[in-house]
Structure 1
Amino acid sequence: MLVLVWIFFIALSPLWAAEPTPPQFERDVVPLLTQHCLKCHGLEGRMAGLDLRTPNLILRGGDNGPAVVKGSAEESLLFKRIANGSMPPGSEKKLTAEQVETIRRWIVAGAPAAGSYGPVTQAEAPAVTVKDRQFWSFRKPVRPKVPQVGQSNGVRTPIDSFVLAKLEEKKLGFSPEADRVALARRAYFDLLGMPPSPQEMAEFEADLSPQAWERLIDRLLASAHFGERWGRHWLDAAGYVDAQGLDHLITDDKTAEGKYLYRDYVLRSFNEDKPYDRFLAEQLAGDELVNWRSAQRFTEEIKSALIATGFLRTAADDTDIPEVNTADIRYTVLHQTLQVLTSNLLGLTVGCAKCHTHKYDPIPQQDYYRLMAIFTPGYNIQSWLQPKERALPDVSASEKEEIDRHNTEVEKRLEPFKKQLEVLLRPSQERLLDEKLSKLPEALRADIKSALETPEKKRTPVEKYLVAKLGPLVEVKPEEVRTALNDEDQGKVKEVEEKMVPLKAELRSYGRIQAFYDVGPPPPTYLLRRGNFETPGPEVEPGFLAVLNDPEAPVHFPELSPEMKASGRRLAFARWLTNPDGAAGGLVARVMVNRVWQHLFGEGIVATLDNFGNSGARPTHAELLDWLATEFMSSGWRIKPLIKLMMTSSVYRQASFREDSAKAAKVDPGNQLLWRMRIRRLESEAIRDSILASSGKLNGSIGGPSVRLEYQPDGMVVVSEKQLTDPSSQWRRSLYMFTRRNY
C-alpha cells in the first residue's frame, strides 16, 4: 500500500515542478519601475513620450512605439533596453539580473495586472441632464420685471422695488434713513476703508442739495484710495500674499522679485474701473492677449498683461526647494490654482470632483481634469519650472540682450577693482566663516564649506540640502566682514569703492514679472483615479464644465499665431466665462454681484459666497440677483456704476435701528429681508488705517514694495525698522504690510 502511495506522488511530481505563478504588475513590477524608471517616465518627466505608470500607458508606449508586446519579451522595448543595460541611462543604478528576469517573465506571461486593460481612450463623463441645468445658478439669468410696490415713495432704484416687494409680503417696510453723519462714515469705510476727516464731514453736512449723497459717492469712487480698499477684497479672494512658497517658518520672509506688481495691478484696475470681463481675461490669459515673445520693446500694455497673470501664481509653490520639487507637490499647486479660480469666479466647489464625481452638483470627475488641461501647458508636471525660473524680465528679449551686452562691458572695467576688494576682504571673511563653522559638529564642517564654495547650479542634492539647512547658521554678512577689518584695510576698501561708484552708475537694470505662460507644447492630461497622480486613468481633452456649457456648441480653442507659442486654452476659457449669452457668463456675473453686495450690506444675497451649488445657500432675493447680474453685464461689466447703484438705494441708506425693531425682528429675526441696515464689524486693517488717518501720520503713497515685518520673542509682529528705506513707510496702509499665510 505504501509503495502505491509513493508511486502516486511520484507521478504527480511534474505538476509540483510546474512554472511558478507569474509576476503581477502591481505586486512585482511597479516597485521596480518606481525605483528605476518612473522619475523620467511618468512622475517628473515623460522622456521620449513614454509613461510607465499604468499597464495601459505601457502598452500605448511612446515615440518609439509600444513598450511591451504581450507574450514576447524579445519584441518588447522595455525589456530590451533594460536587458542590454542602456536603461536606466548613465550612472543610474541598473536592475539586477533577478529583477530583469522578473520583467521578462511578466511580459512572457502576458503582462498580467490586477485591473483589467481597458482601451486607452478619452475619458467619458456621465451625462449632464436637462434637469441638472435647470438648477437656479446653472440657468442663464433672465432680466425679471421690476415689481410694483405699495410704498413707492420709498423707492429710489429698482433695487428698492425688489427688496420692498418681499418686505410688503410680511407687512414690513424700510427703516428710516440714517443720519448724515452715519451715512458719511458708512460710505467712507465701505469705499475707502478710512473715516472722513472733520473737514470732509463738515462739508457733507453743509451740502443740503438733493444731489449731495450722489456727489459724495462719485468723489469717493474717484479717490485713489478706492482701489486700495476694493483691491484688498479681490486680493483676499485670490489668495495673494507677499511671501513666497509654503511660508511655514515665521523667521523666513522670502518673497519673489516683483511679486507686489500683481497687487498694484489689481489696485490700478479697480481705480480705472476696468471692465470685469477684461479684468478676468488679463488675469487668466494676459500672455495670450499680447505677442510678448516677439515684441522688440515691451509697452506698458504688454507689461500689464503679463503682470496680471500673477493671479495664477498665488498658490503656495515651494518647489524651489529640491526636497519638495516632486510630482505630488506640483499637482498640489495645480489643484490649489483650480480651487482659487473656480470658487472665486464661479462660486462652485469644483475641487470636490478631484477624486470622484461631485456628490451634490452635476460636475463629473472628467470635467475637473478637463479644466486642469486648460492650465497644464503652463503648469506642466513633466516640464516643471520652479518659481525662480518662471519669472520673466520686464523688458523684451532684444532689450534684455542690449542691456546685458552693455553691462558686460561695464563689468569688465569693474573687474580689477573687484579683485582688489576680494584680496582685502577675503582674510576676514574666511576667519569669520571658520569661527562659525567651529560651532558645528566637526564631521560636517568640511562638507558644508565645500558646498558653500560650489556654484549653486553645480551642487549635488546633498550639498543643496546642507546649504538650505545649515547655510543660515554659517552665513557671513558683508557688514560683519567690514566690521572685522582693521582701520588701515577699511581705508583701502573705501578708496577702492569710491573708484567703483562712477562705473556702477553706468550699469543698467531690469526688473522681474512673476508671470504665468505656456512653458511648451500642451502635454497629455489624465484623469487621476481617486485624485492619485500615481494611478492615472484615461486621457482627457481640455474643456469646460458641461453643466454650464451649451450641449450643442462644441468647445473651440482659438488658433494663435505660431510665434506666440501659446495654446490659446486659457483665452478661450476667459471668453467662455465672460460670455453674456451663456450660462457660465451669467453665473460669473451673479457671483461678482453677490460679492459686491456682501461688501456693502454685510451678507451676500447668497450667503455662501464661494458655493452657489446644491449644498450652498439659496438666494434670499433671487429675482434681484438676476436683475443685478443682467444689469452688470449690459452696463459693460463695470463695477463702479454697480456700487453706486447699490449705495444710492433706499435699502443702503437705512438706519441700523428703528423703534419697532422688536416687532420686525419677530417676523424676520435674521434681517434676511433687509428691513434695516446690518451692523458690521470693522476689520483690523481698516481699524489700523483709521487710527493712522485720524492721527495725521498716514503715509498715503500708492503702490510699491511691501513694508517688511519682524517677529519679537513675545509673538508680536512689528514693522522692521532696520529694513525701512523711508522712515515714514512704517505708517503706510495695512495693505502694504508684508503679507503671508502664517504669522
Structure 2
Amino acid sequence: MSARGSMVGQFKNDRRLRGGVIFLCVPLLALNLGPTADGANLTPEQIDFFERKVRPVLASNCYSCHSAEVSTPFANLRLDSRTGILRGGDSGPAMVPGNSGASRLVQAIRYASGLKMPPAGKLTEDEIEVLVRWIEMEAPWPDELEPEISLQTEQFDLGARRQGHWSWQPIQSNTPPEIAAVQHPVDRFLTAGLNENGLQPAVTTNRRTLIRRIYFDLTGLPPSPEEIRRFIEDQDPNAYRRLVDRLLASPRFGEHWARHWMDWVRYAESHGSEGDPDIPDAWRYRDYVIRAINNDVPYDQLIREYLAGDLLPTPRINGLDGINESILGTAHFRMVEHGFQPVDPLEDHVNSLENQIDVFSKAFQGLTVSCARCHDHKFDAISQKDFYAVLGTLRGMRPIQTVIDTPERVYKNHTEMAALKGKIKMALVEVWLDQANGLANDLIAATPSTPFIERSACNKGDALYPWAILSSKQGREFSVTWDALADAVKSDFRNNQNFNHKMTTGGWDLRGQDYTGWFKQGVGLPKHPSRPGGFWITTEGEEVLNGIYPAGVYSHGLSRKHPGVLQSPRFKVESDSISLRLLGGNFSAAKLVVENYPLGIFAVGIYDQGFAPKKDRMTWATWDTKFWKGFEAYIEIATLDDRTNFRLDSVDFFRTPKPKPEGDGRSFFGVAEVIFHNGDQPPRGELVPALHLLRSPMPDKEAALAIRYQQLLIAAIEGWRDDNLSELQALFLDDFVRNGFLETSIEKLPDIALHVTRFRQLEEIIPIPRRAPGVLAETLPPQPLLIRGNHKNPGEPVPPRYLEALDGDEYKDPRTTRLRLAEEVASINNPLTARVIVNRLWYHIFGRGIVSTVDNFGKLGEKPTHPELLDYLAAHFIQQEFSIKKMVQFLVTTEAYRRSTEASAASIEKDPTNSLLQHMPLRRIGAEAIRDAMLTISGQLDRTMYGESVKAYYVQLANLDDPAVDGLPKGDEHKGPLDGDRRRSVYLAVRRNVANPLLEVFDAPKPATARGQRDVTNVPAQSLTMMNSPFVILQATKWAETLVAELHDTVRARVKKMFVQALGREPSTDEIDRVETFLVDAAEERQIASGEILSSQLVWQDLAQAIFNFKEFLYIR
C-alpha cells in the first residue's frame, strides 16, 4: 500500500477524524447516479429544463389532442403528465426513460414510422432535440398530480390560491416568546420549538471550532494560526462580538457573500452555445456586487438597481472611483444564454426574457413565475396574464455596453478642447483664405505633372478634374469640352437621383430631424446633427486634420476616445436590402439587430448584416435583409468598445493575418443616411465636388475658369468660417484639403502649432471610458399573451404590471414600467421580498433555510419550520433598513449559531433532519472556499481585489485546430493559468462552456437559473480530483516548499503547525505518532533517507495533499 493510501488506516480509529480521509480510496460502487426523474428529488436544473424547454413544446404541439383539455384524448394517449406518457395509449407506452431511440414518442415526432406526429407538420429540429434530450435525462417531471379531464372547465381561482397559501399573506410583527435565561430573540423562538418537542439544545462549541466556523461563513477563508491564538487567549466576554464585527468590516466579507449573490442571479461572462461568445466587461458587475455588500448598501436599493438601475432619478455614485454604481446593477440582464445564429431570433428573445423573469422571480420573490408562460400556474396564484404582464415590463430593453463613468470623468477637458478646436479653425481659415486668394495664379502656373493636378486628372468627381481637362483647351474646344463635362456630371446627378428615388422604400436622413428619433448614448454623440463642415483634429502626425466632413452625425467631434452608440427606432424588415452611408475606423461597426439578438456581425451566415467602415470618408454599405423580412429589428452603430460583442466582419475575417484592435480606446464613426430599398445594388452617390463648379455659368477661357475656382474656394472657406456651408461646398472644400492644396501641416503653421500641441495633450489624458453590460430603455406597446407560450401565436395584449396576487396595478406610463416594478418588489408591503432574503441569509448561516426550498415559496415549496421566526426576522430586517450586514451579525451572535455539531440521541430520534436546530449542522465548505483555503494555507493567495477576471483553466483538446469545437476555445490565448494567478475564486472567469474543473466537481452551479441552494454531492470524481488535480498537487507542493524552508522545525512541531493551518486545531499525540509513521512510509516509498525527512519537500508534499483530503479540512463543524 502507498504511503498516502496507508493514511486511511492510520487515521480510521480517531474519533474526530472518523472517516477523516474521505477521498482516498472510494469504491466505484459508491457512484451517485443522481435523483430519480419522477418526483420531488429533481435538481433545479432538471426542473428548469422541463419548465422552460419541454413543457412549452408539449403544450404548444400536443395538448390539443392528448391532454385533459379534451374529453377523449386521441388514441387514449395523455401527454400532459409523466404518468400518462409512461402509461401510453392504444399502442403502448409512449417513452422509455433514458432510451429515446426505443421511445414511440421520438419515433413519431421524427416521422420515422407510420405514425407521424403532430400530423399538421413536423416539429423543428430544435424541438425534437429538446424532447430527445429530456428522455435521455430520464424524463424529469415535477412532482404533480395528473390533471383530471373533469377539471377542464374549472376556473383558475387566483384569489383562493392567494388566500390559501402562507407566503402571500402580510408579514406579521411577532413577539419572541418569553423564556427564562434566553436573551437573543432568535434563540427564544428556537428554544420554544425545542421545548415543545422535549429537546435540549446542544452545548456551546469550543473556541477553535467557532473561529473556524465564523471565518468560513463570513469570509470564505480559514483563520490564520495567529488569529486563532489571539481569539483563544482573549478572555473578554465581548471577544466574539468584536471578532464578528471585524470580519463584517473585512473586504473578504464582500468577496465571499458576493459569490452567493452571483449564484442567485446566475452570473456569467459568456453567452454559451457554439463559440461561447464573451459578454464584454461582465466582471464589472461582480466588482459592483462586492463593493455593494462591503458597503452594506440596503437590500431594497440593490433591488431597485437590479431592475431599474439605469432609470433611477438619483443614481448611487461612487465618488472615490468616479462610477455610477446604480447603472451597473442592470448588467445581469445581459447574462443570458443565446443560441448560435438562431434561425428564429424572436424565439431566442422570448426565451431570454423568460430566463430573466425566472431568475428575478426566484431570486427576489421565491416564486416560479416562468412556469406560467404556457398556462396559468399549476399550483400558485400566478396567472398566464401575470407572466406576460411582467414580460412586457422587462421587454423594453435593448442590449448595450453602457458607460459607467460619472459626468466629471466623461467630460474631462471637454470645454477647453472645444475652445481650442474653435481657435484652430479660425487660424486655419486665415491661412486658407490667404492661399485661396492665390489659387487662380497657382492654377495657371500649374502643369499636368503638378501633384494636385495629376491626382485630380484620374478622378472625374474631383473638384479640379474640370481644370485638368480644360486648362489645355482654347476657344471652341474649350466651350465644347465644358458643355460635355457639365452635361455628363449633371446627367449622372439626375440619373442617380432617379435611381435612388425608384429603389428607395423608406429610411432615415440623419442630417436632419430624423436624428431626434434615434436612441443615443455616449458623450461623443452630439445633441443635433453636424452641419456640413465638421472636422477632426488628429492626435498624432504632421497634419492638423484629414479633411472636411459633410453633414451627419459623428462620434469623434473632439476625441476618438469618446464613446458612442446610435440605434434606430425599431422597425419591421420589409425591404430586400438596407444601405447606410457612413465612415469610421478602429473597428467601429454598424449592424442589424434582429429581435434584440446582440451577437450579430458574423463572418458568414444569416447574421452577416454588419459592416466595419475603414475610411474617413463617407461610403455606402449594403446588407441583404431578404431572410429577415417580417422580423422586427433596429440598426446599431457603435464604436469598438461600445459593441455588445466583437466579431470581425466578413472582410476582416478572411484576411491573413486577421487584424486586431490596438487597445488604446480610440474608435469612431460617422453616419448620414439609412436607406431601405429593393434589389441588391446600393444607392448611388448624387453629389460630387466637380458638380459645384459645373453648375455655374461657363467661363470663356482658362483665366476666367481659374478665377471661378478661386471665387468658389473663397466662398467655401468663408462659409466654413461662418458655419454656413452647403453640402456641395463641403465636398468642394474637402477636396482641396485632402488633395493638399490647402495647408494642414503643423510644421508650416507655426501660429496653430501651440494650440494643436495643447489640444493633443488634453486629448491624450482623457481617460478611456469604462463600460459594462447594460440595457437601453425603450417604450414598446403592451406585450401580447402568447397562446400556449408559442411566440408565433400571439393573443390579446396584456398591459404591463406586477403580479395580481400582489395587487399589481397597470403601469400607465410606458416609460417607467421597470422603475414601477422595482418599487413594488422593493416595497415594505411586499410580503415576499424580506422573507425571501432573510431566509437566504439564514440558509447560508445555518445550512438550511427556515423554508428549506429557498428558491420556492410556492405551494410546491416546503413550509417554514418556524413561521413566526421567519416573519420576525423579515420585520426586523425592514426595521434595520434592509441591512444585510446587520442581519448576518444578528444571526451569528445567537447561541444557536455557537452550538456544537454533536446531536443528542433524543434529537436524532425526534428530529432526524435537525429542522428544530437542536445543534449546528456539519457543513461542507463551498467549492470556492475549498480552493481559496488551499491557496491560503500554501501561502499563495493573492488578495488583490477587483479587476478583469482570470481566464478559465481547462485541459486542451488535442489535434483540434478549429476556432471552437462544442463551444470550447482552442489555443493558449484563451487558456488561463492553472493556479488562476493565485486569485480568489470569485475572480475566476465564469464561462458557460468552460468551467473550472475543481469548482465544478464540488458543485459550483452552472449559470442557467437562480441557485439559492447548491447541491452538496459526494461522488468519486471529488476524490479523484483531490488526489490527481494539478491544482491540488501544486498547492501541496507550494505548502511543502514553505514548510521545508523553515530549517529549525522538528517533525512534531511542523505537524502541529500544519494541523493548525489546515484544520484550526492541534493534533493529538496519537495523531502525531501516526503522521510520523506516514512520513517514514512516504520517505521509504520515495527512497529518501530517514535523516532527510525534515528537508524533503516530496515527503511533506505527500502529507500536505493527504491533509487536503481530510474530511475535517473540507467541512466545518
TMscore range, shorter length: 0.5 to 0.7
Quote the residue 2:901 is aligned against: 656
Quote the residue 1:573 is aligned against: 821
Quote the residue 2:776 is aligned against: 517
Give the Cα–Cα distance (whole angstroms) in 1 for the partners of residues 833 and 225 of structure 2. 40
- Opposite residue 171 of structure 1, the aligned amino acid is G
Give the Cα–Cα distance (whole angstroms) in 2 for the partners of residues 733 and 402 of structure 1. 39
Match of 1:254 among 270, 278, 283: 278
Query: How far off is 1:298 after superposition?
Result: 10
**2:155 matched to 1:143?**
no
- Opposite residue 330 of structure 1, the aligned amino acid is H
Give the Cα–Cα distance (whole angstroms) in 2 for the partners of residues 710 and 741 of structure 1. 13
Quote the residue 2:657 is aligned against: 476
Q: How does 1:123-272 map to 2 (within 5 A)?
A: 128-129=158-159, 132-149=162-179, 152-153=180-181, 155-243=182-270, 245-249=271-275, 252=276, 254-256=278-280, 258-272=281-295
- Sort the Cα spacing of 1:695 and 1:133 in 2 relative to 1 into closer, same or farther, 3 A: same
Quote the residue 2:359 is aligned against: 340
- Sort the Cα spacing of 1:409 and 1:587 in 2 relative to 1 into closer, same or farther, 3 A: same
**2:542 matched to 1:542?**
no
Quote the residue 1:596 is aligned against: 841
- Sort the Cα spacing of 1:635 and 1:506 in 2 relative to 1 into closer, same or farther, 3 A: closer
Q: Please, what TM-score do these two structures have when normalized by structure 2?
A: 0.44
- Opposite residue 304 of structure 1, the aligned amino acid is E
Give the Cα–Cα distance (whole angstroms) in 2 for the partners of residues 474 and 684 of structure 1. 43
Q: Is the 8 A contact 1:133 1:547 kept in 2?
A: no
- Sort the Cα spacing of 1:415 and 1:206 in 2 relative to 1 into closer, same or farther, 3 A: farther
**2:909 matched to 1:666?**
yes
Query: How far off is 1:231 after superposition?
Result: 0.7
Query: How far off is 1:586 after superposition?
Result: 2.3
Q: How does 1:297-312 map to 2 (within 5 A)?
A: 303-312=324-333
- Opposite residue 591 of structure 1, the aligned amino acid is V
- Sort the Cα spacing of 1:281 and 1:180 in 2 relative to 1 into closer, same or farther, 3 A: same
Match of 2:310 among 287, 309, 313: 287
Deviations 1:439-459 (A, max 9, x none): xxxxxx999xx9999759947
- Sort the Cα spacing of 1:518 and 1:400 in 2 relative to 1 into closer, same or farther, 3 A: farther
Deviations 1:449-485 (A, max 9, x none): x999975994756999x97899878652579xxxxxx
Give the Cα–Cα distance (whole angstroms) in 2 for the partners of residues 446 and 517 of structure 1. 28
Give the Cα–Cα distance (whole angstroms) in 2 for the partners of residues 594 and 355 of structure 1. 30
- 1:706 counterpart SS class: coil
Quote the residue 1:615 is aligned against: 860
Q: Is the 8 A contact 1:242 1:706 kept in 2?
A: no
Deviations 1:173-218 (A, max 9, x none): 1101111011000000000000011111111111111111111100
Name the one with the larger strand percent: 2
Query: How far off is 1:128 after superposition?
Result: 2.7
**Pairs aligned (count):** 538
Name the one with the larger helix percent: 1
Quote the residue 1:495 is aligned against: none
Query: How far off is 1:145 after superposition?
Result: 2.3
Unmatched 5+ stretches in structure 2: 1-154, 422-523, 525-534, 547-602, 615-619, 628-644, 661-759, 959-967, 995-1117
Give the Cα–Cα distance (whole angstroms) in 2 for the partners of residues 446 and 575 of structure 1. 44
Structure (1 or 2) with the larger CA radius of gyration: 2
Q: How does 1:412-431 map to 2 (within 5 A)?
A: 413-414=540-541
Give the Cα–Cα distance (whole angstroms) in 2 for the partners of residues 308 and 239 of structure 1. 14
Q: Is the 8 A contact 2:957 2:970 kept in 1?
A: no
Match of 2:983 among 732, 735, 739: 732
Query: How far off is 1:720 after superposition?
Result: 10
Query: How far off is 1:269 after superposition?
Result: 0.8
Give the Cα–Cα distance (whole angstroms) in 2 for the partners of residues 721 and 459 of structure 1. 37
- 2:832 counterpart SS class: helix
Query: How far off is 1:727 after superposition?
Result: 12
Tell me the C-alpha RMSD between the 2 structures. Answer: 4.3
Give the Cα–Cα distance (whole angstroms) in 2 for the partners of residues 377 and 307 of structure 1. 18
- Sort the Cα spacing of 1:453 and 1:572 in 2 relative to 1 into closer, same or farther, 3 A: closer
**2:902 matched to 1:682?**
no
Give the Cα–Cα distance (whole angstroms) in 1 for the partners of residues 412 and 817 of structure 2. 28
Quote the residue 1:632 is aligned against: 877
Q: Is the 8 A contact 2:342 2:348 kept in 1?
A: no
Q: Please, what TM-score do these two structures have when normalized by structure 1?
A: 0.64
Query: How far off is 1:718 after superposition?
Result: 13
- Sort the Cα spacing of 1:242 and 1:168 in 2 relative to 1 into closer, same or farther, 3 A: same
Give the Cα–Cα distance (whole angstroms) in 2 for the partners of residues 340 and 194 of structure 1. 28
- Sort the Cα spacing of 1:688 and 1:469 in 2 relative to 1 into closer, same or farther, 3 A: farther
Deviations 1:55-80 (A, max 9, x none): xxxxxxxxxxxxxxxxxxxxxxxxxx
Match of 1:693 among 936, 940, 947: 936
Q: How does 1:17-166 map to 2 (within 5 A)?
A: 128-129=158-159, 132-149=162-179, 152-153=180-181, 155-166=182-193
Query: How far off is 1:156 after superposition?
Result: 3.8
Deviations 1:11-64 (A, max 9, x none): xxxxxxxxxxxxxxxxxxxxxxxxxxxxxxxxxxxxxxxxxxxxxxxxxxxxxx
Quote the residue 2:785 is aligned against: 527
- 2:795 counterpart SS class: strand
Quote the residue 2:411 is aligned against: 399
- Sort the Cα spacing of 1:525 and 1:737 in 2 relative to 1 into closer, same or farther, 3 A: same
Give the Cα–Cα distance (whole angstroms) in 1 for the partners of residues 267 and 542 of structure 2. 41
- Sort the Cα spacing of 1:718 and 1:333 in 2 relative to 1 into closer, same or farther, 3 A: closer
Quote the residue 2:378 is aligned against: 359
Quote the residue 1:13 is aligned against: none
- Sort the Cα spacing of 1:475 and 1:306 in 2 relative to 1 into closer, same or farther, 3 A: farther
Q: Is the 8 A contact 1:275 1:639 kept in 2?
A: yes
Give the Cα–Cα distance (whole angstroms) in 1 for the partners of residues 970 and 870 of structure 2. 43
- Opposite residue 826 of structure 2, the aligned amino acid is T
Unmatched 5+ stretches in structure 1: 1-124, 379-384, 420-444, 480-500, 560-565
Deviations 1:295-332 (A, max 9, x none): 9x9997872111111132222246xx655571111111
- Opposite residue 266 of structure 1, the aligned amino acid is V
Deviations 1:400-443 (A, max 9, x none): 994998898564634989x9xxxxxxxxxxxxxxxxxxxxxxxx
Q: Is the 8 A contact 1:142 1:627 kept in 2?
A: yes
- Opposite residue 898 of structure 2, the aligned amino acid is R
- Sort the Cα spacing of 1:667 and 1:253 in 2 relative to 1 into closer, same or farther, 3 A: same
Quote the residue 2:949 is aligned against: 706
Give the Cα–Cα distance (whole angstroms) in 2 for the partners of residues 470 and 664 of structure 1. 71
- Sort the Cα spacing of 1:528 and 1:478 in 2 relative to 1 into closer, same or farther, 3 A: closer
